[in-house]
Structures are given as structure tokens and as C-alpha cells.
Structure 1
Amino acid sequence: MKNDRFNPSQAVVPRAQDAGPLQDSLGASEASIQSLLREGSSENTLAAYRSAIQYWAAWHQLRLGSPFLLPLPVNTVMQFIADHVEHVTNQGLAYDLPAEVDAALVAAKVKRKVGPFKLATVRHRLAVLSEAHETQDLPNPCRSRAVQTLLERVRSAYAKRGERPARKDALTKEPLEQLLATCDDSLIGLRDRALLLFAWASGGRRRSEVMRATMENTRRVPEGFLYTLGYSKTNQDGVERADSHKPVVGRAAAALEAWLTAAAITSGPLFRRVRRGGVIGEGLGAEAVRKIVQARAALAGLSGDYAAHSLRSGFVTEAGRQGLPLGETMAMTGHASVASVVSYHRAGAALSAKAGRLLERDSDINEAPVLDPAADSIGHD
């Protein structure tokens, strides 16, 4: 193809040429502005944004034969959706992306494998494109009635087919105990035990929040430790809040104390790399939480699909199982939206609900076996 020299690593969001008013009024260089934007975003957000823009650029060049320039017309966004989601045909489900373009995108390493995207991936790609337009104050095709209507129909079609978003299993108390049982008293075992308990027991911390935990923002108290969450996904301004302080007590506190003592950590990040010979290195990256969870799940012989978010969804699900009020649960997790946490909480509480046993006698209710809702796949936020 004529575009086989395309280099996705060079893809950036094309910007409006005239940035004069902003530069004239603020006297700020573009490099400074971009630096501030990067610093104010998490590494995961930046990586996801970069990946999405690279894909848009590659798809536009290979599919339409022209460079990716903003603003995009509405019909281009509509074509992108049709290329990446499945629709019903006489031969079954199909998508519009030509096979040769699909293969070229995989060869360019901007797509893992040929085939349609998951609906969640398409929505994320569109969200990034929308943000790119909004940031540059350009007409946003993603907000057009045509695109919004098509997305609504696509979501309904997928729902009618019984397709639900892929979700990680929740690490409720029982599977978490199995992970912890794989942690020995080596430095790595002490660290992993402390990390898992810290992340879970302090309210299901996000992996970025775990990595930002330091000796400076995690102080010892008579009950254990108190972790002050100065910045989070739902508090990006770092505003002091009553629920910014997360308790690390009981077993979680004991595990953290054992790790800090063994690793001789007195300042800086709590959780760090352990190099050969027991040398304590730099702080772990956010991706390390996922790897630790998955490695420990494999050692424990768990068959579910677990990742870093399993700690968060597991905490909320377990809170529902044990009857912890939703408000108290949210104060621990830091969720800003009830809608994003209530599904986990209700899933945990569902099998203990009296409403499900209205036909049974009281004695039957008392003797009924308690099932574990963690046997089902619980969601990803």
C-alpha cells in the first residue's frame, strides 16, 4: 500500500496553526503549556491518550489515504464506528474495516489483532477524539446528533445480543486470602502481602494511589497507619476533604510495618522494587500492581480473571456482603458517583437480601447456605 511507511510513534494531535491569542495574552510557550498538561495527568491517562491518537492517525491514513487533521468531519467518525463495531448481516455478524487495512494496522503495531474492537474500546477512542477537539476549541463531531444516535443504537444492539462489557473478577475476602497465603517472609513476599492488604483494606485503592503512598503521607498512629490521599481521580485539585484520610489498621498495618522494617524504609515511596541480593530499589510503577495481583492469583491457582482493579471491586463487593452502608463504603473508596459503585455493592448484598427468600419459613432462611457472589464476574470501573 502507498502508506506502508507510516510511523505511528510520530502521531500527535494536529493543532490549529494560530495559537497567537493565548501566547500573546499569557506569554507562555507551547512547550510550557504541554508540560503542565502532562504533569496534571496520570501516566496511565497519558499513555491511553497517546495510544488512541496513534490509532486514529494510523486508521485515517490507511483507511482514507489522507493525514489525520482536526477537526474531523462527522461522516469520518461515523465510518470509524462502522469499521470497528459489529452489525448483523445475512452471513452473520460483520464489521466494515477492510481486511487489508485491518492487517496493516496490526503490522503497524497500533492494533493487537485483526477483528472488531470491543465496544468499550470504541467508546474510549471516541472520548479521546472528543477531548482533542474540545481542548483546541474546535467543532466536535463526537457531540453531533448523528454520532450520538448511532452510538445509542449500537449500545442497544450489543445489549440485545447479550454482550456485556468485559469485567474483571472481584477479589472479595476469600480469594484475597488465597493470594495472601502465597506470600512468604522473603522481602518480595513481605512487600506483596503489605501491598495487597494496603490497597484492599484502605478502601480498594486505585493502583496510581498505591504508588503515590509514601512515608510522608502515611503516618503512624496508635491504631496503625493513616494514609492521606492528597490527590486522586475524583479529587484532581488536591482539595482537603474529611474522607481524604484512609485507615490502614489490623492485619494491613501489621503487614505494612513488617515490610517497612525489613526493607529499612524511612522516607519516600512505601512500595519498591526488590533487586537481586535483597537490594531495595526505586518505587514501583502503577503497572506493578496488576502484575503482582495476576502473579499471586496464578500462584494461588485461581481460575478467574484478576487485575489491579479486582482489589477495588472486591472491597466494595465484600462491603455489600457484610452489610456496610453504601455511604460508609464510598467514604473509604473515594467514589464520587453512586452509579459507579452501587452495582458492586448491590452484587455483594444480593444473596443475603431477605426479599429473595419471601417464600421460605424463618427456619429455612436460617439454614439456607450462603453463596459467594464472587463466583460471578464482578465489574471494572
Structure 2
Amino acid sequence: MAEEAAHDLMAEGDSDNTRLAYRAAMRYWAAWFGARYGQQMALPVAVPVVVQFIVDHAQRSTKAGLEHQLPPEIDQALVEAGFKGKLGAPALNTLMHRISVLSMAHHVSKQPNPCVDPAVKALLSKTRKAYAKRNALPHKQRALTKEPLEAVLQTCDDSLKGKRDRALLLFAWASGGRRRSEVSEAVFDNLHRGDEGAYLYTLASSKTNHNGKIRPEDVKPVVGSAAVALEDWLQASGISSGPLFRRILKNGKLGTDGLSGTAVRDIVKARCALAGVGEDFSAHSLRSGFVTEAGRQNMPLQETMAMTGHRSTDTVAGYFRTGAAQVSAVARMMDSGKQKSDKA
């Protein structure tokens, strides 16, 4: 059932990463159900089962501290079988994602959806509020803004791998915060030279462009230091067709295969670790970092969205406003008044 549901969900997904996330969530549901009830899961899932899933995985306050309902022996079995990374309750975001995936599985299978039942919706709402009252904010990957990115770039030497990683990081960040799937799927054939050493890259497929039609907003500039790094990588690698960013083999030679989305993530994390800027960065940090930096530098929101490809203002505004808040003149009114008083 999990495999069939995952197959249906794959048709709904628009990237390898999304498909993998859907598949992992459905496999976890099937494994948990089997361990909890001793039988194979089938759609539709009953409402009490979804309620049990929530209380098994959501922490609640008790006199003994924070607890969740998942029996220790089942928790241990799920970890040993590789369905969980570690013992204990998952992050709230993980729980919500798994509920969302189950809901989508019922939707695409045209089955009665237990996730929209009033009892489930009310429990999820109260769960979010309970976490908020405990100041347990949803985890977000840190934004890789300009300063830490510059430190990360310093770790990229003049070896073939160093040139690749520098070009990859700058291409992903400076062209609008490209998603890791967009970086891994980038091909030389969609890269064109512009004026004065600049490049233009055409996104033939992205999260907001499912059918591959070429639109003006899908042409992204790669200019300045990003263009220099890309040119350096192309000259060193000799790439003239196929995947733009490729594996470097153990013998130091260039491979023919493009990088996977996981490899892009690993490159970002490894370089951040080398730079000593922190361990809580990932590939998405390039995208959120671009938007946050745009807010810090008071760049127009619409121009920023044109670069990132965001369609919804709500989606991008959170990162943008976080960056803008750090340089807010309104937030510095007390200091501003003090400076004027000192001058007087």
C-alpha cells in the first residue's frame, strides 16, 4: 500500500527531493501502523488511527516533564529498522509533514480523508498552540547570508573540487537562491554568455514551472564574482555539454554524472563545517540566505521574487522581513535619538 500510494504521490511531485520525502513519509506511516496494530495499513485510514499517530509523536507536558505516547519498544524497533533516525518525538514540522502527506495520499486515491476530520484538525491546532506556549518554535535551516557565505567560499581552493564548489555555491546563491534540485539538474546547454563576462541561465524546469515552457522570468543572470567562478570552473573542467556540476572521482578526475540533490546538500554542509560558520546550514540555506540578504540590503521585494521565482508573497516575505528587520530604522529609534542628543 505504501509503495502504491508513493507511486501516486510521485505523479504529484515536481522534484526528486519532493518524491523522496513523500515516499519516506508513507513508508514511515506503513511501518508505524504495522508495529502499532500488527497488520498492514490500507487506505482509507480511520480517524482514531490518525489521532493515535499524533499523540504518539507529539510531546505534551506532564508532571514528569515532556512525554509522548509512542511505546518505547515500537520506538526502538522503528529506529533499528531505519524508519527513524533517533529515539524520541520528532520535530513538530516532521509530524505535520507526515500528516500532510497522508492527507494527500487520500486525496489522490479519492478516499475519505481522515486528516480533514474536525477532531483531527482540532487536535493539530491545539498541538501547535501547545508547542508555541512552550516556545518550541519550528526548526528552520539558518539563512546563509553574505558574510558567512564569504567565509565558506574561502575554503574553496584552486583544485578541481574547490573550483567546482565555489562555482556551485555562487551560482546557486547569486542567481536567486536556486533549489538544490535546480542546481543538480543544471546543464551546460541552458547556459548562455551575456555581455561583459556575464552569463544567463535558463531554468527549463523548476518548482513553479512544471511543463518546461520557457518564460522570461526563468532566465536568471549569473554576473560578477559568480560569473568569474563559473568561467573558472568551465575552463578547468572542460565541460561543454551535459551536467553543469559533476562528481569529482577519487583519482581527482571529472566524472560524467551530474550531482544529485543530496550531493549538493552535502557540499554546502561540508563547506560550512570547514569554514566554522555552524552545522545548521543546508542547501536551502542558500535560498533563504539570498532572500534574507535582499531584505537586509533593502532590495525591492518584487525584484527579489523575480530572481527567486517565488509566486507567493507570503512564502518569501518571512525571510525577507527577517533580513529587513535587522537594519530597520524604526527599531533603532532609541539609539538614533541618543546620537542626536549626544551631538547637541
Amino acid at match of 2:187: T
Q: State how far apart, in whole Å, the 1-side matches of 2:13 and 2:115 are.
A: 24
Identity %: 55
Amino acid at match of 1:96: Q
What residue number does 2:254 align with? 280
Q: State how far apart, in whole Å, the 2-side matches of 1:364 and 1:56 are.
A: 59
Amino acid at match of 1:252: A
User: Does the 8 A contact of 1:13 with 1:132 survive in 2?
Assistant: no
Change (3 A) 1:295 1:36: closer
Q: State how far apart, in whole Å, the 2-side matches of 1:45 and 1:122 are.
A: 16
Amino acid at match of 2:282: A
Please show how residues 106-125 of structure 1 align to structure 2 within 5 Å: 106-125=79-98
What residue number does 2:104 align with? 131
C-alpha deviation, 1:253, in angstroms: 0.6
What residue number does 1:308 align with? 283
What residue number does 2:141 align with? 168
Please show how residues 51-200 of structure 1 align to structure 2 within 5 Å: 51-200=24-173
What residue number does 2:232 align with? 258
C-alpha root-mean-square deviation of aligned residues, in Å?
A: 2.1
Partner of 2:277, secondary structure, is coil
Amino acid at match of 1:80: F
C-alpha deviation, 1:38, in angstroms: 5.1
Is 1:222 the equivalent of 2:213? no
Which of 3, 8, 16 is the equivalent residue of 1:12?
Answer: 3
C-alpha deviation, 1:221, in angstroms: 1.3
Deviations 1:58-115 (A, max 9, x none): 1111111221011011111011001000112222221111111111111222111221
Change (3 A) 1:40 1:164: closer
Amino acid at match of 2:134: R
Unpaired runs of 5+ residues, structure 2, are none
User: Does the 8 A contact of 1:168 with 1:309 survive in 2?
Assistant: yes
User: More deviation in 134-143 or 236-245?
Assistant: 236-245
User: More deviation in 291-300 or 37-46?
Assistant: 37-46
C-alpha deviation, 1:357, in angstroms: 2.5
Q: State how far apart, in whole Å, the 1-side matches of 2:326 and 2:28 are.
A: 43
Change (3 A) 1:40 1:130: closer
C-alpha deviation, 1:361, in angstroms: 4.4
Q: State how far apart, in whole Å, the 2-side matches of 1:357 and 1:12 are.
A: 55
Amino acid at match of 2:66: L
Q: State how far apart, in whole Å, the 2-side matches of 1:242 and 1:364 are.
A: 47
Partner of 2:3, secondary structure, is coil
Change (3 A) 1:356 1:36: closer
Change (3 A) 1:99 1:226: same
Amino acid at match of 2:202: T
Is 1:346 the equivalent of 2:337? no
Change (3 A) 1:273 1:94: same
User: Does the 8 A contact of 2:8 with 2:108 survive in 1?
Assistant: no
Deviations 1:14-37 (A, max 9, x none): 69xxxxxxxxxxxxxxxxxx5995
What residue number does 1:373 align with? none
Amino acid at match of 2:296: R
Q: State how far apart, in whole Å, the 2-side matches of 1:46 and 1:291 are.
A: 19
User: Does the 8 A contact of 2:310 with 2:316 survive in 1?
Assistant: yes
Is 1:331 the equivalent of 2:331? no
Number of positions where the alignment pairs a residue of Structure 1 with one of Structure 2: 339
C-alpha deviation, 1:239, in angstroms: 3.8
Change (3 A) 1:110 1:359: closer
User: Does the 8 A contact of 1:319 with 1:329 survive in 2?
Assistant: yes
What residue number does 1:236 align with? 210
